[in-house]
Amino acid sequence: MSRPRFALLFIILVVLTACPGAEDSQEEKTYDLRGTIVSRLPERNFITVNHEAIPQVMEPMTMAYEVKGQKVTDLPPDGAHVSARLHITGDGYWLTNVTTIR
């Protein structure tokens, strides 16, 4: 391979590896979530939560979340005030550590 062609390929490789790509979309970010359980879908392990604002992430809203690491049938009853850990990646979002707020 000639030097100019090799140099061009090297530059392209450097630029491509420096650009954000699919790997960045997999970076997981976590946030504290506080709200009230509205309903649940045990067959999909989802709960719907009416939650407070999460600064710089989302306004207060009612939204369905998959729960990982816990069965929704074992969580506090509908109407319970809870805290949880919200996980967000480029592929989706889910809750962990759902507990009652006293």
Integer Cα distance of 57 and 39 in angstroms: 23
Query: Judging by beta carbons within 10 Å of its beta carbon (0-12, 13-18, 19+), is residue 73 exposed, middle or buried?
Result: exposed
For residue 1, the model assigns a pLDDT of 56
Question: What confidence tier does 102 reach under pLDDT thresholds 50, 70, 90?
Answer: confident
The 10s digit of each residue's pLDDT in 25-80 is: 579 999 999 999 999 999 999 999 999 999 989 999 999 999 999 999 999 999 99
Nearest of 59, 53, 60, 51 to residue 98 by alpha carbon: 51
Is the Cβ–Cβ distance between 49 and 66 less than 8 Å?
Answer: no
